[in-house]
Each structure stands twice: as C-alpha cells, then as structure tokens.
Amino acid sequence: MKSFSSRRAQAIVVAFAAGSLVLTGCSENKGSDTGANSKKDQKQASVQSKAVTYADAAGSTGPAKDVAGAQSGGTITVYQEAGLSHLDPGQTYVSDAGQVANLLFRRLTQFQEDDKGNISVAGDLATDAGKSSDGGKTWTFTLKDGIKDAKGNAITSADVRHTVERLYAKFIFDGPTYLQTWLSGADYRKALPDGGFGKKHLPKSVLDTPDDKTVVFHFDQPRPDLPQTLAMAGYAIVPTKDDTKEKYDKAPVATGPYKIQSYKNGKSLVLVKNTNWDPKTDSVRHQYVDGWNFQFGVTESTQTKRLIADQGDDKNAIQLTGGVESTQIQDVIKNPSVSKRTVKGYQPYVMQLSFNLDRVKDLKVRQAITYALNSKSLIAGEGGVYGGDVAPNYFAPTLPGYEAKYDPYGRLATPQGNIAKAKELLKGVPAAEKKVVFAYGNSENGQKRKVAIEDALTKVGFNVVSKEVDAASYYEQIGKLDNPYDMYITGWGQDWPSPGTVVTPVYDGTQVADGAPNYSHVKDPKVDALIKKALGQQPTEAAKTWKEAQHYLLEKVVPAAPLWYTKQFQLSGSNVGGARYGSVSSLIDINQLFLKKS
C-alpha cells in the first residue's frame, strides 16, 4: 500500500492503503527522545501483524453496530493539503483517496474493526467473505439482495465482471494489480487489451458469472488472501452502465453511503447522502452526518492552528491524512482540552529514499547515500517521537517477520548519518556520478524533506539538484519508468499482514511498469526467484524466504535507503464524535464519525 506521503497506499495493517509528503528540518517544538516510547509503540504495533479472520454471513449482515453516543445530522469539514490524484476506484492505491473511497464505494468484501482493534474481513456487496474450494484455487461470492448504485440501478455480477475486466485497460495504471496478475499473469493486459469494453471477455475458466448473483474466480494456485485483496479500495465496484473510462476519474458513481455533489479538482469535494444506500446491507459503514466538505490546499500548519483554536466550523473538522504539524505538537500535548481530541497509532509504512536504478547504477553511490542520510533530522520534522522511529530495514514493526535489530547500515547507532563511512565509499567515484537529481513534493512536508536530504548529502560531497513535483500527482510522476529523477522519497505499507505484500509489489522484476510501485525498477533474477519460491510456500517456510529476500535486497542490491517508520498523530474538532485510530486505514477511522451537535 502506498502512503500519500509514502504511498500510504491503502495498506492494510493490515493497513491501507497514502498522507503527507514528509518533513525534514529540526524544530525546538517537537517530540522528545524516542527511546522507551518507541519500544512501547513497536510492541503495540506488533498487534497489527495478527492474521485477519474471515466473517460468515451473520458477521456480514448489516446494519453496522452503532457507535456509542452517535447522533445524526450536520456536515463534517475535512482538511487536506494536496488534492486527490484519483477518484476512480481502479486507480486508488493511496491513503487519501482510500479514505474518501470508504464513504463512496463498496467492494465484494470489506474490513471490519471492533473497538479492541481486532480485524476481520466481511462480505460487503457479497453475503460473506467468500467460499473457497479446489484447495483454495476457486473462490465463489454471492451478492446480497437489494444492492443499488447511487442512480438506483441494481448491482449484479455483470458489474463485478466489468469492474475486474476494466483493470486490464491501459488507462488504469495507478491501482493495485494483485487480482489481475493472479488471474492472468504478469502480462495480464495482453489477455484483455480493451479491458472488456469490446466483445471479448475473460473466459469462464478464469472469471465466471453464471447468474446475476454469483461471481466465481479461478486461479492456477491457491489464493488464501483473496478476501483481503478484494477489500482494497482499488477493487471497489464500477457500475457498467456509467463507466466513462478515463473521464470516470472525475465523476464516479457511488455505491456507498455518500455520493458526490460537486468536485473541483485540487480545491474542494462535497459529498451528500446516497439515498439508494441501504444500511441493512452494510455491516461496516454508517450515514450519521448529512455530508462531508473536503477542503484541499490547506497546509498542515494551518490545519493544526485551526483545530487547536476550535472555533466555528473547525469544531466540526478533521484532518484526512495529514497530522499535527511538527512545530505545534507541544502546543497540543500540553493542553489537556486539545490533547484529548487526538488520535494516534503506528502506521505500516516504511519511508525510504528510492533510487532509480536506470540512472543510479553505481552500487557504491547508493551505499554511500544510504550511510549519509540523516533519519534523525527527517523524523524531527515529522514530530519526533510522535512522527516516527528510525527504520534500519525495509520491514515495518506491523509486519510479520519484522527484525528490530537487523541494521546493516548502522542506522540505529548513527541515525544522524555516518559521514565518514559515506566519504570512504565515495573515494574514486567520478564527480559526474556525485550529481544526483532529487524529486520532492511541493507541500510543506516535501519542502522540509528537501532541506534534510540536501543537507545530508552535501556534507559528503554530493551535488544535489532538487526538482519540485506537484504533490497531488507525486506518485504518478515518479511512477513513470522514463522519469528524469535519480531518487525520490517513497513509502510503502503492507496491503495485509504478509511480507509478500511488500516485497512482491515493490521489488518484483515482472512488475516494472508505468504506475507500478517498483519505483526503483529492480530487475534481479535472485529476487524474482525468491519471490516465486515464497509465494508457493506455507507461511512458516515463506517467512524464511521473505527474510532472505530482504537481506539480499538491502545488502547486495540497495534499491532504496530505509529512513523511518511512520506514526500518525491527528487532531479533530471538539464537536466530532466517534474519533478513533483505525488500524485498517492507519488514520482516523472515517467510518465511525458523527457530530455531537448538528
């Protein structure tokens, strides 16, 4: 999953998976030393690595359990710095769009989270989390009765088929690819070049819809994680009748509790109630408020000031994926009336500096940069202990197989960077290879990160040329294979609790393509062989293979320099009820919110 700042990709934490672009410079008004707090946070994070359970029909039947004290009415204001890169479900793989998707779109399955943080997968449009047969190679889903889209049209198995097949079209390039590759292989687009918009469709041996209520997936190997995969926002239903292909990104049709009233790209998004949504069919979502007013272009510092002041409409406001701005953290935690309005938790994202291996070909250069980077400065900009912890490797504390002490570059011992080691590696490296082009997002966080990266690398003799990129389309720009950048900060979190959802999408050589999350363009035969081996093993054996893959990547390939593990620390207005940290979204749980006074 991407983080927005990373690609907070709708990850599942199970985490879901996109946020801010990330900060750098130090500040006096920040969290203190991370020590004991980090150990406590990482212990709590390990809870998020628990396996998810699959709900039966009873656990998938609506309405959703009421939130204590919930009332109806009013409009919640939502602040976000960058605009949304996509609204088309098929293009959704970042956390900001993922949060919005929870309000707008339904999928075959959905994640449920109880008040103790336990996660299950329930049937959303389907009656349950799915039924497997043939040793897990075949999965059957039955649609619930009474499901309609916002225009009043019944959702049938034909809409599910269309949703899957349109993912094969070339205009869908920025969403998850698990389902497509599982069904049709790495070159899945060749199986259906027109995305099902013509006369050709996927064969029944791959995807079968024998009647209006039944959907059957056939795979060439067991896919026990399919219910979790289908719960991703990127697999939400797109009704056949209203699909406008590329234009759908700007005006999608809702299936969830809210629909779009107006949308001004990069400026505002107004949602109102979808009267065709039936709560009796939905075990996850609510429709407490009358609407949502998303305001884009509001910096994190401004968001924080407004929410601390808590005046007028700000009493009804939340932060979408942004958090408390680092220089104002102490203003929040030292004021009890403000501090009680925060939600916080460990996220599944590992922020790293990804190298474009097509351009940065010298291993010594990549290693030198990895040693030189100042994680301490970057984390200080994130808010110190409230913003993140030093990352010594590619696996987050929320991931099964996390190795807290695996630290080949000594980042835990020298979080400010090992200047001497970096300089030693650069001896004899030509000056031309010390000139590096760094892409950063044009947000407050992006600016701060730029300062930290430039400062660290300049100290060891690099000539850093920084290039500003639009924050809303950041991942789209760096996701182009022929991009003009040597390096860029990215973040990735598990799509569900398995190292396979990190190693496979980010480092699989068969997934080097425009829009794919292999941002470093890694094509290594050994890595590919280890991925293939692990995917065919049982979890216990696979864990050893994923570990071997990570060690090989970090020590021998170095496609990216690990920087920090992210935490979320968000603030909401005093009139917002139901605010809690969502382990699924790794953000405020948008499905639970209401206004205390409308």
pLDDT at position 35: 45
Q: Kindly write down the DSSP assignment for every residue of 415-429, as one continuous string.
A: TT--HHHHHHHTTT-
User: Cis omega before residue 497 (within 30°)?
Assistant: no
- d(CA 151, CA 142) in angstroms, rounded, equals 22
- d(CA 130, CA 123) in angstroms, rounded, equals 7
Structure tokens at 191: 């199986």
Calculate ∠ Cα 378-379-382, nearest 5°: 100
pLDDT at position 287: 98
pLDDT at position 348: 86
- d(CA 579, CA 591) in angstroms, rounded, equals 9
Q: Are 80 and 322 in contact (CB under 8 A)?
A: yes
pLDDT at position 3: 58
Structure tokens at 359: 């351009």
**Helix (H, G, I), strand (E, B), or coil: what is residue 247?**
helix
Low pLDDT (below 70) residues in the chain: 1-51
Q: Which tens digits make up the pLDDT trace of 188-237? A: 999 999 999 999 999 999 999 999 999 999 999 999 889 999 999 999 99
- d(CA 88, CA 233) in angstroms, rounded, equals 10
Q: Which tens digits make up the pLDDT trace of 259-292? A: 999 999 999 999 999 999 999 999 999 999 999 9
Q: Is the pTM of this model over 0.95?
A: no
Q: Which of 323, 308, 319, 475 is nearest to 388 (CA)?
A: 323
